[in-house]
Structure formats: C-alpha cells, structure tokens
Chains A and B, each alone.
Chain A
Amino acid sequence: MNGKHIGWIVLLLIGLAAPFVVYPVLVMKILCFALFACAFNLLLGYTGLLSFGHAAFLGSAGYICGYSMQSLGLSPELGLLAGSAGAAALGFIFGSLAIRRAGIYFAMITLALAQLVYFLALQFPFTGGEDGMQGIPRGRLLGLIDLSDTMNMYFFVLAVFLFGFWVIDRAIDSPFGQVLKAIRENEPRAISLGYDVDRYKLLAFVLSAALAGLAGATKTLVFQLASLTDVHWHMSGEVVLMTLLGGVGTVFGPIVGATIVVSLQNYGAELGQWVTVLTGAIFVLCVLAFRRGVVGEVAHLIKRSGIRP
C-alpha cells in the first residue's frame, strides 16, 4: 500500500461521511468544483498548459445538460453525457486553435475564446441570457432512482466525482500520461523522441474539457440552474486558484484547493465584495510564497523529514 492508496481510502471515507456532518448541498458543490479543478490540473499540472478559459467548458456543459433535460426531456445520465460531449467538442475547437501557440499566448487565446463563448451564451435565446436557465428537473436516474431526494443526489454526485477522478488518475499513470509529463518537462526532446506532441496536447485538452464539462453538467443537476456565472472569466480564474492553492501537479491538490475556496466563498458570503479582493490576495500570496500549494508543501515536508510513506 502506498501513499496514493491511503489517499483514495481517506477520500472515499470522507466522501461517505461528509453529508452526515456538513450540509449535503455544500459538499456536492465542493465535489463538482473538485472534479473541475482536477480536470484543469490534468492540463496545467501534467501537460504544462495554462488554460485561462476553462469556464467555457463548465458553463456550456451546464447549458447543454439543462437544455436537454428541460426542453428535450432526457434522463439525467443522458443529460450528463450530452453536456460532457458538448464540452469535449468545444474543447476540440479551442484546443486545435490554442495549441498553435505556446506558453503565455496559449493562456491568452483560451481566455479570449472563452470570452467569445460568454458573449454567445449572453445572446443565444435558449440560454435565457442574463436570467439563465432555471427550474431544471433532476429527473430519475436510469428511470429508477429519484434524484430530487437530496441523499440520492449526493451519492450520485459522489459516484460521478469518483469516476471522473479515477479517469484522470488512470490517464496520469498511463503511458499517455508519461508522454504528457515528458512534454511538460522538455517539449523539444519529446518531439525528438518521435512523439506527435500536438496530438498529445490536443487529446489532453479534449479530455480535460470533457471532464470539466462533466463537472459543469453535474453542477447544473445539483442546483437545477445554469447561469452566466459559470461561463464568466472569473470562474476560469477560480479554477486556476483552486489548483494553485491545492498544489499544481499533485493528484489530490485540486480537491483540497476546491474545498478551501468553495468553503471560503460559502462561509465568507457576508464579506460581499471583499471576496474578490481576498481571492486576489490569495493568488498573489500563492505565487510569491506558496508555489507548491497545500498538498505539494505537505509532500515536500514528508520527503524532507525522511519518512517513507
């Protein structure tokens, strides 16, 4: 048993116990954002690509899921599938354009494309513009389980999260993941080894977008609404913050980061405008003094103290 197995078991236990201790809707929100941040980390932490437009996938999958359930009457599992597929398709378009430039340009391009999606979401009639989509039904899972029950919904969200997290974990450990890390460490060398770097980057981008979409669609199901907040650039910044705070390139970091940021927003709601300032301040602090993040810092301490996990 290694550190990762312990991590998985702890995660599972916390996931099973949490709704009996904390307000379940808050835990569901945390799980959605944790999956979102993990999907983002696949790109930043393991491929070295900073996407500043991931809100586009979260938000558009939410709209697609909401539309297909509310107007087309699809079941929740098909709604999630439609949302993820839509986000993957969007990810393919974004990725194909953005990987044409590297580094800092990549971030600017994804940000600009996400802003394009924001304006489209504002203008398309089916998104409901400023009001968003409201009263989306949760439906019955596989026609059997009624998701309007909070606990049923919770365990469904937990299952979706664990599935998404498992996919990311598998991808990182696979030969595909090793190539991604090689690209992150030294792109020219990966090219000289004969890897088609652009295809790997694109595949990582599409996978990340699809899982971000899964998170967005699940979030729509939980809150029964889809709104412009999820496509706004602030959201793209938030997912960067969650990942940075938790630990870029660590498996569990984004989960920790998402938990901290979502709890902060939840319990700090009375701070009002100060939340933005606080978010910015955490950003500055993380970049200046805390680049390993919470999990990265803990792992570093364990390594230095010589304890073998």
Chain B
Amino acid sequence: MDIFGIPIQALMGQLLIGLINGSFYAILSLGLAIIFGLLNIINFAHGALYMMGAFCAWIGLTWLGLNYWVALVAVPVVVGAFGMLIERTMLKHLYQLDHLYGLLLTFGLALIIEGLFRYRFGISGESYPVPELLSGGFNLGFMFLPKYRAWVVAVSLVVCFGSWFIIERTKLGSYLRAGTENPQLLQAFGINVPLMITLTYGFGVALAAFAGVLAAPVLQVNPVMGSNLIIVVFAVVVIGGMGSIMGSIVTGLGLGLIEGLTRVFYPEASAVVIFVIMGIVLLLRPAGLFGRER
C-alpha cells in the first residue's frame, strides 16, 4: 500500500518518530514557557539538563543497577533539585537585571554541564536498553508499532496535559498564573513568591529531565543531544509564542509531525524545515501562532 509513492510502512514509521520528537519539543517548550513566565529568564541550560536526565538514567542503570522505572521517577527529582540549587545560588541574583543576562548565565551553565559530560563520556554516546516490559511491539496490519515508542508518545501526552491541567485548572496553578502577571501583588497576598519561583524552576527542569529519561532508550545517550535539541526548541517557542501552555504543546507536537513528514518526502530539508517555518511565521504573524506581544 502506497501513499504518493511512499510505502505506508515508512510513512507511518517516520510520522511516529516525528510524533516522538514532537513530544520532546512539547515538554521542553512547555518548561521554557513556565520558567519564562515567572522568572523572565530563557533557560538556555534546558537542553543540557535534558541531556543530564538521559545520562543520569544511564548512570543509574549501569553503575547503580537502578532500572528504568526507578529512573523515571528518581531522575526528574534529582535533576530538578539540581535546578533549584542553580536558581537559589545564581539565577536569583539576576531578576533585577536585563533579561539577556539570564540567557547568558544559563548559556554558560549549558557549556559547563555539556563540557563536563563530554570530558567524562566522550562524544560517541552510550546506548540504553529498552525496558523489558516495553520491548517488542504490536502488529497493526499496516505497520509494526514498537511498544516503547507508543509508550513515549502516550506518557508525554499525559505529562503535557497534566501540566496544562495543573496550571490552568488548579489553585496551585492559579498562583503561578498570578505570579506571571504580577508577582508583587501576589506577595502582598501572603504567598511566598521566592519559594514559588524556586519550585517553578525546579518543575521546569524536572520536566526536561523526564523527557531525557524517556529519550534515553530511543535516541543515543550523548553529551551533545541537548544542545542540538534546544536550538530547535527555541524555534518552536518563537513559532508558538510563549503566551499559552496549550499553544506550546500543540506547536511542539505539530512541528514534530511536520518534520517527520519532511523526512519522508524531502529528506534533505528535514533538518531545516522548522527554521524555515519560523521565518514564515515571523513574516506573517510576528507574535507567534499563540502569542501575544508583551
């Protein structure tokens, strides 16, 4: 069975990979948006912390014998705590300064983290086995669906929409939204805003680390996996605009699919398609698809 001369098997396979990449774009841009909303900082270290998540899972398995399921819970907690340490010791000194300093500081942190991992592990990368429970796959008749890939997409969607629910529909989320609008007023109501900022940064970082653990069995665990991803995620954020949580999720998944389709129909352009879309969106709708100027 062919569609436009492409075997449906290959098409579906690439779409699935696109959806997986899209899930990572969604989780990372979601974290960036939450952090930016409250801290007014673009976290350049987001990619490095995602890579750290993947490596912590690998280290846990190889050195400590902790399995995938433990890593899925423990790694985001550990890396999130590391993030909170960064916020407490460094980022908090920058809130009164221009936004650009936050970007520069986290850029420096990204270089440090990436450099340390490169020093220890080289750039060839390590492979992480698919957990036993999720190995194998389903035969859907028109394609073979590996269980692990289906799991990544499903769990990413749950995490994305769970985050959306917490932020848009719960009391805790209402504090977060209020802090984004006017932190001074929120503080006047007796909310501990500095603590909230620390926890928010930790949550954003934990999301990145969670994506890293999910990615470990599908992609090569590699010190540069984060920096390659973060630049694409920046483009995703520019396309979607950081105004809405749902916007980040939809843009991330959509662009992942488009990238997958490009890989099928015109592979040469697959590395650049998202950047080209960013250019077009900037021409037509400078504030981004879901953004508002602020």
Chain A residues proximal to chain B, CB less than 8 Å? 50, 52, 97-98, 100-101, 103-105, 107-109, 111-113, 115-116, 119-120, 122-123, 233, 237, 240, 244, 272-277, 279-284, 286-288, 291
Contacts and interface: CB of A to CB of B under 8 A. Distances in A.
A105 B288 CA distance: 11
Given A104-B42, A277-B111, A109 B282 contact: yes
Nearest to A275: B115
B110 interface: yes
B107 A283 contact: yes
| 4 cross-chain pairs, A with B, having the tightest CB-CB distances, nearest first | A283-B108, A280-B111, A276-B115, A277-B115
Contact of A288 (B105, B114, B275, B287): B105
B276 A116 contact: yes
Given A119-B272, A281-B112, A112 B119 contact: no
A271 B48 CA distance: 21
Interface string B49-83: 00000000000000000000000000000000000
Contacts of B85: none
Interface centre among A98, A100, A279, A280 (most CB of B within 10 A): A280
Given A50-B103, A109-B238, A280 B283 contact: no
B275 A112 contact: yes
A287 B107 CA distance: 11
B111 A111 contact: no
A97 B99 CA distance: 21
Interface of B: 36, 42, 90, 93-94, 97, 99-101, 103-105, 107-116, 118-119, 227, 231-232, 234-235, 237-238, 268, 271-272, 275-276, 278-279, 282-283, 286-287
B11 to A, nearest CB: 23
B282 A97 contact: yes
Contacts of B105: 283-284, 287-288
Q: Chain A at the B interface: mostly helix, strand, loop or mixed?
A: helix
A98 B286 CA distance: 9
A53 B231 CA distance: 11
Contacts of A119: 271-272, 275
Nearest to A272: B119
A97 B100 contact: no
Contacts of B279: 97, 113
Contacts of B287: 101
Given A50-B100, A109-B238, A287-B94, A273 B118 contact: yes
B238 A101 contact: yes
Interface centre among B36, B99, B103, B287 (most CB of A within 10 A): B103
Interface centre among A98, A111, A244 (most CB of B within 10 A): A111
Contacts of A237: 107, 111
Contact of A107 (B103, B109, B227, B286): B103
B104 A280 contact: no
B234 A103 contact: no
B108 A282 contact: yes
Contact of B275 (A107, A115, A233): A115
Nearest to A120: B272
A5 B276 CA distance: 46
Given A116-B275, A284-B109, 7 more contacts: A104-B42, A107-B103, A108-B234, A112-B234, A113-B279, A123-B268, A277-B111
Contacts of B286: 100-101
Given A107-B100, A107-B103, A283-B111, A100 B272 contact: no
A279 B110 CA distance: 11
A163 to B, nearest CB: 30
A277 B112 contact: yes
A286 B111 CA distance: 14
B82 to A, nearest CB: 15
Contacts of B278: 109, 112-113
Contacts of A288: 90, 93, 105
